């Protein structure tokens, strides 16, 4: 078991969104349960939390919470059946999903936005800084981000967001940060945040991605934050208030992430995640890459007259 990191002992994973971009798959199943190769997306996220030394996880769930709870619970019958068959490899895989951390659940009721989902964590978190990880946002385990954010929070106090440079055409899909340098190559001070800026109004091309380490002062701010864009209580709006007035809960810093990230709530990104992670898997990679190469080569004539889609 990894040692708990300084100051952060709890992580919150909001997983109560409607997942409309992935309907109808998400009609009765949370999008966080969609498999990425052979594990649901949320399992990668919980493993990331544990790898950062945090062992208390609160999931914010909605009406479809059963599959999430069942996935992290023990399944004695299945374990017994695999043991009986001598299938110890699969038994280990099944057990790996079981309680890698103490997992708690709270229901959001109405999906009134990410900010509202985080506010539902207040009674569990109490008065200490905590991590937030979006359950559909995967960070490749080879490119650790959360542990760096925890260290930056310990150094600077306040709150820390994860920033990724995106193409200008994409910034309107994200919360966007106006920033200035701190002298540390991967750490920026956040001056201002705007949720999904209109074209031409983005203060930078730094997008806020789904990892946060937050000061508990965010709860009071969220409780006062009116619904914003899309009629939802936006976490970005509350963070903007913290950034604008550091006397509330300390400064807001951003850790610049340059590693591999997949938004599994988006269909195209999801497909990329599955293909890329499958290609890199030790047990599947060779035959899958061979098939993929043959498939792409065989499909080429269909695209011969057009540009090859990216």
Q: Which residues bind ligand UTP (CB under 6 A)?
A: 14-22, 60, 108, 111-114, 116-117, 134-136, 265
In the bound complex, what is the minimum distance in angstroms from residue 77's beta carbon to ligand UTP? Answer: 30
In the bound complex, what is the minimum distance in angstroms from residue 155's beta carbon to ligand UTP? Answer: 27
In the bound complex, what is the minimum distance in angstroms from residue 15's beta carbon to ligand UTP? Answer: 5
CA–CA dist 152, 124 (Å, integer): 23
- Of the pair 6, 229, the CB lying nearest ligand UTP is at 229
In the bound complex, what is the minimum distance in angstroms from residue 41's beta carbon to ligand UTP? Answer: 10
| Contacts with 221 (C-beta within 8 Å, 6 or more apart), sequence order | 238, 241, 242, 248, 249
In the bound complex, what is the minimum distance in angstroms from residue 114's beta carbon to ligand UTP? Answer: 4
- Of the pair 44, 82, the CB lying nearest ligand UTP is at 44
Nearest residue (beta carbon) to ligand UTP: 17
- Of the pair 91, 265, the CB lying nearest ligand UTP is at 265
Residue ranges with strand state E in the chain:
10-15, 35-36, 39-40, 56-61, 102-107, 130-133, 137-139, 159-165, 175-181, 187-195, 206-214, 252-256, 261-263
In the bound complex, what is the minimum distance in angstroms from residue 110's beta carbon to ligand UTP? Answer: 7
In the bound complex, what is the minimum distance in angstroms from residue 235's beta carbon to ligand UTP? Answer: 8
Three-state DSSP class for 180? strand
- Of the pair 254, 265, the CB lying nearest ligand UTP is at 265
- Of the pair 187, 235, the CB lying nearest ligand UTP is at 235
CA–CA dist 181, 21 (Å, integer): 35
Residue whose tokens read 């100051």: 7
> 143: closest CA among 297, 277, 239, 34?
277
Q: Taking a C-beta distance cutoff of 8 angstroms, is the pair 266, 274 a contact?
A: no
- Of the pair 90, 229, the CB lying nearest ligand UTP is at 229
- Of the pair 34, 117, the CB lying nearest ligand UTP is at 117
CA–CA dist 39, 75 (Å, integer): 16
Instruction: Please report the sign of the dihedral spanned by the C-alpha atoms of residue 274, residue 275, residue 280, residue 283.
Output: positive
| Contacts with 163 (C-beta within 8 Å, 6 or more apart), sequence order | 177, 179, 188, 206, 207, 208, 209, 254, 255, 256, 257
In the bound complex, what is the minimum distance in angstroms from residue 136's beta carbon to ligand UTP? Answer: 5
Q: Which neighbouring-strand residues pair with 262?
A: 138
CA–CA dist 244, 192 (Å, integer): 7
């Amino acid at each position: 078991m990894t040692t708990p990191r300084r100051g952060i002992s709890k992580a919150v994973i909001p997983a109560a969104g409607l997942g409309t971009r992935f309907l109808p798959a998400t009609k009765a199943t949370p999008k966080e349960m969609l498999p990425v190769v052979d594990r649901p997306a949320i399992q990668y996220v919980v493993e990331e939390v544990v790898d950062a030394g945090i062992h208390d996880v609160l999931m914010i769930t909605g009406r479809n919470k059963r599959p999430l709870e069942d996935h992290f619970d023990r399944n004695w019958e299945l374990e017994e059946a695999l043991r009986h068959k001598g299938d110890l490899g699969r038994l280990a895989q099944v057990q790996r999903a079981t309680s890698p951390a103490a997992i708690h659940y709270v229901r959001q009721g109405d999906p009134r936005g990410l900010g509202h989902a985080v506010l539902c964590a207040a009674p569990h978190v109490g008065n200490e800084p905590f991590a937030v990880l979006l359950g559909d946002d995967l960070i490749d385990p080879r490119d650790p981000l959360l542990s760096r954010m925890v260290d930056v929070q310990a150094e600077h106090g306040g709150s820390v967001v994860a920033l990724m440079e995106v193409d200008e055409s994409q910034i309107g899909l994200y919360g966007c940060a106006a920033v200035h340098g701190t002298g540390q190559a991967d750490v920026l001070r956040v001056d201002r945040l705007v949720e999904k800026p209109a074209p031409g109004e983005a203060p930078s091309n730094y997008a806020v991605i789904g990892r946060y380490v937050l000061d508990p002062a965010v709860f009071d701010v969220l409780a006062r934050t009116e619904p914003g864009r899309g009629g939802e209580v936006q976490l970005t709006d509350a963070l903007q208030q913290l950034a604008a007035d550091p006397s509330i809960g300390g400064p807001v810093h951003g850790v610049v992430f340059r590693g591999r990230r997949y938004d599994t709530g988006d269909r195209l990104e999801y497909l990329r995640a599955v293909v890329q992670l499958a290609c890199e898997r030790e047990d599947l990679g060779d035959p899958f890459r061979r098939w993929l190469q043959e498939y792409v080569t065989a499909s080429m004539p269909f695209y011969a007259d057009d540009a090859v889609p990216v």
